[in-house]
Amino acid sequence: KQEVTQIPAALSVPEGENLVLNCSFTDSAIYNLQWFRQDPGKGLTSLLLIQSSQREQTSGRLNASLDKSSGRSTLYIAASQPGDSATYLCAVPGNTGKLIFGQGTTLQVKP
Amino acid sequence: NAGVTQTPKFRVLKTGQSMTLLCAQDMNHEYMYWYRQDPGMGLRLIHYSVGEGTTAKGEVPDGYNVSRLKKQNFLLGLESAAPSQTSVYFCASFEGRRTDTQYFGPGTRLTVL
């Protein structure tokens, strides 16, 4: 059974810091991995989707990497801003397209 | 293009009452999903559909029923609500290609007293 773990559960950093969020999964037979952002009281917004054939995916200040063999993905946020404060979720697909989520990392960026 | 919408946004029920949550998508997606999100438990799949007229059970289906009579709509029903069903419910849709992401609705916050 696929399990997804995110560490740390919460993170507080001063504005401007570069930071890394971690995601690990137990079954490496995945075809992609996604990172989502969730603001308090809101739905999920897709940030990055990495195919299994890719090692990295970038969008602005965000960079996600995927290492299938070790069952790990990282989300790197450069030059963090208070607007980056949110919960970040990683997810891998199960059968019929359903997503299996980690429990998320709640990020607070202090001005 | 509204994406995925959910109705209602908030609801308070008493134990034993019934209700239906509506999810609608305008992207012509085949796959639709209902998840619930609880503190410490993350998002868990309740039911899903791989096309109009089809439904299947997910990880936590007990106490819920679903219907997909039209491709664009996916309904989640609670026949006899219980306090354990207090949660935030999210609907998502997906085209089905491995290069695509799932699109999530804004959620329905349900409290069962």
pLDDT digits (tens, 9 = 90+) for A35-82: 999 999 899 999 999 999 998 999 999 999 999 999 999 999 999 999
Maximal CA-CA distance, chain A: 42
User: Is the pLDDT score of B1 beyond 80?
Assistant: no
pLDDT digits (tens, 9 = 90+) for B35-67: 999 988 889 999 999 999 999 999 999 999 999
A111 burial class (0-12, 13-18, 19+ CB within 10 angstroms)? exposed
Question: Is residue B100 scored above 90 in pLDDT?
Answer: no
For residue A43, give the chain B residue with the closest CA. B106
Residue A34: Cβ-neighbour burial (10 angstroms; 0-12, 13-18, 19+): buried
CB contact (8 A) between residue B99 and residue A34: no
| Residue given tokens 């409290």 in the structure block | B111
Residue B56, min C-alpha distance to chain A (Å)? 10
On whether the CB atoms of residues B44 and B34 are closer than 8 A, the answer is no
What three-state secondary structure class fits B85? Answer: helix
